Amino acid sequence: MSIYDTLNPEQKQAVFHDKGPLLILAGAGSGKTRVLTHRIAYLIEERQVNPWNILAITFTNKAAREMRERVDKLVGYGSEDIWVSTFHSTCVRILRRFIETLGYGRSFTIYDTDDQKTLMREVCKYLNIDTKRTNERAILSAISKAKDELIGPEEFARQAGGDYNQTRYAEAYTEYQKRLKASNALDFDDLIFKTVELFQTNAEALRYFQNRFRYIMVDEYQDTNTAQFHLIHLLASGVDEDGAKNFNLCVVGDDDQSIYKFRGANIHNILNFEKTFPSAKVIKLEQNYRSTKSILNTANEVICNNQGRKEKSLWTDNEEGEPVHFTQFETDFDEADGITSEIKRSVENGEANYSDFAILYRTNAQSRQFEEKLILKNIPYKIIGGTNFYSRKEIKDVLAYLKTIENGLDSIAVKRIINVPRRGIGLTTIDRVNDYALQNDISFYDALTRAEHIPGLQRSVTKIMSFVSLIEGLKSRINLETYSLKDLVDDILDATGYVRELEAEDTEESKDRIANIDELINKIVTYEETAEEEPTLSGFLEEIALVSDIDNLTEDSEYVVLMTLHSAKGLEFPYVYLCGMEEGVFPGYMSIMAENPLEEIEEERRLCYVGITRAMKRLSLSAAKQRMLRGETQYNRPSRFINEIPRYLLKMTLPTHRRGQMNRTVSTLDFDQPFTERSYKQPQISNKPYVLPKAKQFAGKQMGTLSYEVGDTVKHIKFGLGTVLDITMGGKDYEVTVEFPNYGVKKLLSTFANLIRID
């Protein structure tokens, strides 16, 4: 039997398409990885494509590893020549070969978020930017967005015009890039930005990789930003033997799962694929292999309310399954208690294991109540998206030594460890060395080697030169054939006495830190044993720099997983709890009150769709009547997304409290009771049962009338007085355009704006 006989008709069609641009619209759980890997095998086996000529790109190391394993199994001999990696890893490999043409060294360092913040603090100090008024995170965010759009410092400054804040951002951007280059370092956005710059300025490099990658496949295409789009477009624009552009580009994605707009993802890359590539073939994968019919029907009913999407609908041959559960609790405290109690009962009754459960929420702040309840009930759990292993102090300290040895130009790394462990080198000394480095246009480490020539350092010269001698001695050993990376770390720990100091503390915290260092050594040994190419210090630093939180999820571990909906994308669990389904929480108040609420709400709805489709067997949705937010009790109605689910798909229950204990008798929520608009804050809890609203009827049926019209003066709780400029029907609500003297023109949804007409 052929390996292709296991594919469904649409999957086969996608696999057998071997020429020209191809868009595969792959719904959640539709087997897209299976299609990509089988397509690679088909190209090699049936179309005699050289494995060397195939590039497969995805977004996470976890997805790349899974794809690599499947490709190796299907293709066998020769599969090692196929590039299967993330966007960032692909760009690092390209830059390691050609980055010298951009004025960087091949041993460049990759700065993580903490490194970026440290560097930006130095930049702000140098430029006299008051970080109390202009947060360095805001500046880094603006720079990141600019790089996503391929806007460099000069163009950013031009676009700033006369705007004071933008001008200051531009100055910081320019100085930030200058210092990155001086440190021979790139941040994550630079990896894409500089690769595009390389291809746009170096025809030889572009031609080399166009000839190398004749067949390009991109997974999760809906998550690409503008820079990534240009990167792929440049690579795919090679010409064949006849001089014609081949565009053998296959992209796989689902516009309904585009949820990373805040990271720069541009949904129009996938929505406009056929406009960019007019000859593109489009194939829809709509058969789901993950979830029950009930879960999929729920997902379809929610997402169909979005207007900016390609038409498709998931279906499955799986069983009908139990209805989706919706429970409304009195408080967020009860919500956490009810869900964790249910998980414990299921495990104790032998119905499931802890690893079968995932608790998903909109924001990280919602995890606290669940953590407290899980600890109280002795339920093992893990938060995905917490403190990254490589962000812990002791790990960053050891890595800073490794970075300094590999790339002495990395000033951030050198400054981190110059007094770790303590050597008696104070901040005044560091500032004088830093000033000398800036005045002489040299790196901080080079300035250290000239310490005896720096005024005012007489007392510190011996200490500084001892540090320099340590680094130079370690550098001299790394080229020895018998000297491993583990040997290097052992020598660093021995020479610095780092572990001895922790042992002397003899506290639980110090023991944990030693255990973390031991785990880092385990990682180094594993890297040296499993590296695809010859293991190097540069390769190791590169690998850990590209690790994301989700890469640390071990699927067979026995614990309940807690994570945000954004982190859950790409994963699946038998039992999923989707919590905080309330207006003002999900969708969030910021989305509801945004300048373009319809667009923001559609992004939130896609996020809800992603959460729903993570569930395989059972999906439980929950809301709380009252929730503590920012220190105040909020009274929120259930999310509009709940109201978009037909009643026959939902099993709805309302647990009640008596004297602080859960009453096991539950009442069915009454959807047929009239719904009265409630504010987000109320002075007291009503004794009447809080009920969900009927679904509002639109599409030609009468909507509620507004108390104001175009030209009227209205009052908004946040923006104050304003004038109504326009009222239009937008989706399922009136969109009201109002001009506020102090806030400008805002587009608001009438249901949530609560505008009051002023006579």
Contact 296, 572 (CB under 8 A): no
**CA dihedral of 352, 354, 360, 363, whole degrees rounded to 10:** 170
Q: Which residue has the tokens 């300025």?
A: 201
Residue closest to 613 by CA, chosen among 318, 269, 284:
318
Catalytic residue among 112, 148, 187, 219: 219
Contact 221, 32 (CB under 8 A): no
Task: Please tell me whether residue 297 adopts helix, strand or coil conformation.
Answer: helix
Q: Which long-range contacts (CB under 8 A, 24 or more apart) does 32-37 make?
A: 32/219, 32/252, 32/285, 33/63, 33/66, 33/67, 33/70, 33/219, 34/7, 34/70, 35/7, 35/11, 35/252, 35/285, 36/67, 36/217, 36/219, 36/250, 36/252, 37/67, 37/70, 37/71, 37/74
Q: Which residue has the tokens 């944990």?
A: 512
Catalytic residue among 11, 32, 366, 747: 32
Q: Provide the 3-class DSSP secondary structure of residue 236.
A: coil
The SS3 assignment for 710 reads coil
**C-beta atoms surrounding 333 within 10 Å:** 17
Q: What is d(CA 61, CA 552) in angstroms, rounded to the nearest whole number? A: 10
- Tell me: cis bond preceding 638? Omega within 30 of 0 counts: no
Q: Kindly state the helix (H) or strand (E) to which residue 577 belongs, with its residue range.
A: strand 573-578
Q: Running DSSP on this structure, what letter comes out for residue 722?
A: E
Helix (H, G, I), strand (E, B), or coil: what is residue 328? strand
Query: Catalytic pick from 33, 340, 369, 429?
Result: 33
The CB-side HSE value for 41 (13 A sphere, CA atoms) comes to 21
**How do 249-253 and 22-26 pair as beta strands?**
parallel
| Distance from C-alpha of 87 to C-alpha of 93, rounded to nearest angstrom | 10
- 33 belongs to the catalytic site: yes
Q: Is 219 a catalytic residue?
A: yes
Which of helix, strand or coil describes residue 327?
A: strand
614 among known catalytic residues: yes
Q: What is the separation, in whole angstroms, between the first and last Cα of the chain?
A: 79
Q: What is the DSSP letter of 378?
A: T
Residue 447 three-state SS: helix
Distance CA 328, CA 491 (A): 58
What does the angle CA 510 – CA 485 – CA 530 come to, to the nearest 5 degrees? 105
Residue of 257, 327, 429, 613 marked active site: 257
Distance, CA of 736 to chain centre: 33
Between CA 514 and CA 501 the distance in angstroms is 10
Active site residue 32: yes
Among 179, 284, 614, 625, the active-site one is 614
Catalytic residue of the set 112, 171, 220, 602: 220
**Distance from chain centroid for Cα 415:** 29
List the catalytic residues: 32-33, 219-220, 257, 614
